[in-house]
Amino acid sequence: MIRLLASTFILLFFASGFAIAQEPEISFEFENDSVIVGQPLVLRIKVLVPTWMPSSPDFPTLEVPSLMVRLPERATTPISERIEGETWSGVQRAYRLYPLAPGDYRLPAGEAAITYADPGSTDPIAFSAPLPDIRFVASLPAGAESLSPPVLANGFTLEQKIEGESELTVGDAITRTLIAHIDGTTPVLIPQLAPESPGTALRAYPKDPVVTETENRGDLSGTRTEITTYVAQTDGTLVLPDVSIDWFNLESGKIETASVPEVTLTVTGAPPKPTDPADVAEWLALAALALAIGWGVGKWARPTISSRIEALRDRWHRSERYAHRAVLAAIADQDLSAAMIQMDHWKSFVPAGDTADFRQLDTALAGVGAARFGGETQSDMTLQWRQVSVAYGKARAQMRTMLRATSTGSNLPPLNP
């Protein structure tokens, strides 16, 4: 009886060991233990089963921050190996890992879902195999430690294109296109190209940068394109600063600099305002009245009447109401340049010592500029101009309140007569 129990125990022990040995195996290998930032590191994950797999395993994601993961063409291939005298079959999946920053990387824990044939009955068995602990180190080559951000490539160039004249008037626009070309790594590593806005003299309207990438057997290259439209706000000599980027040449092992020169702009005052037909009609009516009166009273009164008419016209042209009508005409024409010029003139009627808040009006004008130079539709432009009209109405109501307060204050009797 004791011998029977011992034999049974031994058989169960070896049977359980055999069962364990029949479970799928998962392993990995790197081509190298470390890698340079921006360069590919090939990772191969192998899955082996004692029989065969009716379908490829479902591998977990390997995404982690600052790591770009790519699957090359024919990333998954069949394999077979001899394990303890038996032929096991399986698949191998290759990944290309591109670290975007130096440091120690550890891939996330996960499980590969495997389906394989039961060695005894060939029935399908579902099995979850945990991934091994996968780690590697990304570093910078000697001499590139000072670069921030680290641009490591076989080639790097900068190019700029200017659309528009260098001699502008207030309200005119010029467009600057900056293009960076990179070879031997991903263009994701290219930093921002356009500098910050050069100040209030130029208002910048940047478009979203466009990054394009190409791959040739794991070697990456590509471009980053940034387009910015600048609108002149004041006259004078303005400068779009030069752009330079330091990068490490992997072929020469040295730091080099790619750059484009600055752009100097000359901005003059606003062009003369076209005559308003309504003003012309009003002036003609006044002139006709003056002529009629002149013919009635004789030649001796004409010089006096003409001078008074001229004074009235000058007074009208220097009035807030005239400036208001010019602003309305520019808004109706949806003319951004004219609107900016006429609103600056209208703001000059703010009473001395008072401070008006035109932030909402300036924001609405900035929205028109963004819609115009950002490629918006006509419906978007109409909506932006409607917001400008509403903001201007509120600003004028505030100014008229100031003017009335100033007029009322000027009529008060002195405190100590």
Average of pLDDT values for 212-238? 91
Q: Band of the pLDDT at 353, cuts 50, 70, 90?
A: low
Does 23-139 match 152-268 in CATH topology? yes
Domain 23-139 fold? Immunoglobulin-like (2.60.40)
The span from the CA of 152 to the CA of 193, in Å, is 16
Asked if residue 9 has pLDDT above 50, the reply is no
**Mean of all residue pLDDT scores within the chain:** 83
DSSP three-state, residue 59: coil
List 43's β-bridge partners, or say none. Answer: 30, 95
In one-letter notation, the amino acid at residue 238 is L
Task: Find all residues with CB under 8 Å of 232, minimum gap 6, and list them.
Answer: 168, 169, 170, 171, 172, 173, 174, 201, 202, 238, 265, 267
Which is it for strands 243-249 and 152-153: parallel, antiparallel or unpaired? parallel
DSSP three-state, residue 54: coil
The span from the CA of 7 to the CA of 304, in Å, is 138
Asked if 229 and 194 count as a contact pair (C-beta separation under 8 A), the reply is: no
Q: In terms of C-beta density within 10 A (0-12 exposed, 13-18 middle, 19 or more buried), how is residue 341 classed?
A: buried
Domain-wise residue ranges, the chain: 23-139, 152-268, 277-408
Domain 152-268 fold? Immunoglobulin-like (2.60.40)
Q: pLDDT tens-digit profile of 294-329? A: 666 656 656 676 778 888 888 888 888 888 888 899
The model's pTM is 0.63
Q: pLDDT tens-digit profile of 83-108? A: 888 899 999 999 999 999 999 999 99
The span from the CA of 86 to the CA of 178, in Å, is 61
